[in-house]
Amino acid sequence: ILEGDRDVGIHYKYLVDKAKHMMKGKRFQKAYDLFICHDRSKEGTSMALDLLKSIRDHTPNVRTMLCRNALAEKEKDTKKEDSKKEAAPQEDPMTVPSKSAESLNVVVILRPGVFENPQVQKDLKEASEAGSNVVILSD
């Protein structure tokens, strides 16, 4: 009934274009494009740093965050707050919101026992609740 109608065709094209632009704009709804998560072991940290260096060399416009850097930022923030407040209680890192929820994609560097780490579990849970894509990377 509506197949030859010009208004229906224009409206359909508008909806298709709107969907395409929504997917492109999704990148800017989050603070980071990629959050690199690992088990905080020496080997995992080394592989994460190699991955981060490679991403920055080949695609410098990708906004990346390493889980180690996220912890450093949290510590800086608490030190700033501590200088303002004398006796501020130390927060448990498991209760502080993770930066993985602010990322569009999360890469987990697969090592033995990586999913047993409570911090990795917390990062993945928050990322999946925020709608992030999770990618597993192995060596």
3-state SS, residue 108: strand
According to the model, what pLDDT value does residue 84 have?
Answer: 56
3-state SS, residue 17: helix
Burial of 104 (0-12, 13-18, 19+ CB in 10 A): buried
Cβ atoms of residues 128 and 134 within 8 Å:
yes
pLDDT class of 72 with cuts at 50, 70, 90:
low
Residues 80-130 pLDDT 10s? 655 555 544 455 555 556 788 888 888 898 888 889 989 899 999 999 998
pTM above 0.75, yes or no: no
